[in-house]
Amino acid sequence: MAATSPLLDILPSIDPATGKVLQSYERTSPLAVPQLLAKARETQQRWAKRPVEERCAQVAVLKTKILEARDVLTDAVVRESGKPRAEAKFADVFVSLDSANYFAKHGATLLKPEPVAHHSLAAKAKSGKLYYEPLGVVAIISSWNYPLAIPMGQIIAAVVAGNGVLCKTSDFTPECGELIGKLFRDAGFPEDLVTIVQGGGEVGQALIDARPDKVFFTGSVFTGRHVAEACAPLLIPSVLEFGGKDAMLVLGDADLEVASSAACFQCCRLGQLHELRPGVPLG
């Protein structure tokens, strides 16, 4: 096998406003992914045996760590995504805090067994319950435009439910990916339960080829088609969130000047962000 070029082992963090390389991070080798998933699966089996209340308590510690690191996290989002500082803090850091707070408080209730009524006359004397069991190890392939909020919300929900996670953060935001991994380590989660892998499409493909128990993808329609096609032959369930436009409802009592300005801002914002990342399909 030919030796890998040293340049391919490095993943640069680039300021989208200037094109300047801010820092470099180690790119995950696709060949390492199966072993990383195997480690996560071994750790997940022990994690799933912990009471859900204990898992929620660990997420409460994570919430504290996010709060303590809020300025560091905000700085990283600003550097790598080009967002204004206020938006980075509000839409990424605070949303991550909300996710941790919500699942720490409500995770046990959400996963509580539910009674199931029988509608058949022959089974009226029977009783049933619906139990929620962990899937195993889930793979998350996340986007660059919300480099904290999207992967954090998905990872937190997964671990509360007793799963392990391999998460490929965007290759445009490697610093944010590194910080996510550090948050879970600092919060005392078991080693290998949440693993961040760094790289581009080749690492995403390796994640699917390693056969996780479910795949969550956020990104363009173009890439999402490839994810769906890769998951289908392996019968891996997938959740796909693609870019696009949302409908906007303007009520009769709205201030039309404000509403029209908001509509133009949000409509143009995707195009402006695309100018910062010209290689990213709009979806």
Q: Which residue has the higher pLDDT, 280 or 128?
A: 128
What pLDDT band is residue 155 in, cutting at 50, 70 and 90? very high
From residue 129, alpha-carbon distances to 133, 168, 216 in Å are 13, 36, 28
| Pairing state between β 128-130 and 137-141 | unpaired
What pLDDT band is residue 271 in, cutting at 50, 70 and 90? very low
Residue 281 has pLDDT above 90, yes or no: no
What pLDDT band is residue 245 in, cutting at 50, 70 and 90? low
Give 201-238 as a DSSP string: HHHHHHHHHT--SEEEEEE-HHHHHHHHHHHGGGT--E
**What pLDDT was estimated at residue 269?**
53
Residue 8 has pLDDT above 70, yes or no: no
**What pLDDT was estimated at residue 2?**
33
Share of the chain above pLDDT 90, in %: 76
Residue 1 has pLDDT above 60, yes or no: no
8 Å CB contact between 12 and 21: yes
Among 196, 178, 208, smallest CA distance to 40 is for 196
**What pLDDT was estimated at residue 258?**
92
Residue 119: which H helix or E strand, with range?
Answer: none
Question: Mean pLDDT over all residues of the chain?
Answer: 89
Residues 6 or more apart whose CB falls under 8 angstroms from that of 125 comprise none
Residue 225 has pLDDT above 60, yes or no: yes
Rg over alpha carbons for the chain, rounded to the nearest Å, is 21
| Pairing state between β 164-168 and 194-197 | parallel
Rounded mean pLDDT, 203-229: 95
Rounded mean pLDDT, 23-35: 95
What pLDDT band is residue 126 in, cutting at 50, 70 and 90? confident
What pLDDT band is residue 263 in, cutting at 50, 70 and 90? confident
Among 239, 211, 237, 240, smallest CA distance to 224 is for 240
The residue written with tokens 């937190």 in the block is 156
In this prediction the pTM is 0.85
8 Å CB contact between 141 and 219: yes
**What pLDDT was estimated at residue 124?**
74
Among 220, 201, 227, smallest CA distance to 277 is for 220
Q: Which residue has the higher pLDDT, 246 or 56?
A: 56
Other CB atoms within 10 A of residue 90 CB: 14
Q: Locate all alpha helices (DSSP H) within the chain, ordered by sequence.
A: 33-47, 52-68, 70-81, 85-88, 94-110, 149-160, 174-186, 201-209, 221-231, 256-276
Residue 156 has pLDDT above 70, yes or no: yes
Q: Which residue has the higher pLDDT, 242 or 97?
A: 97
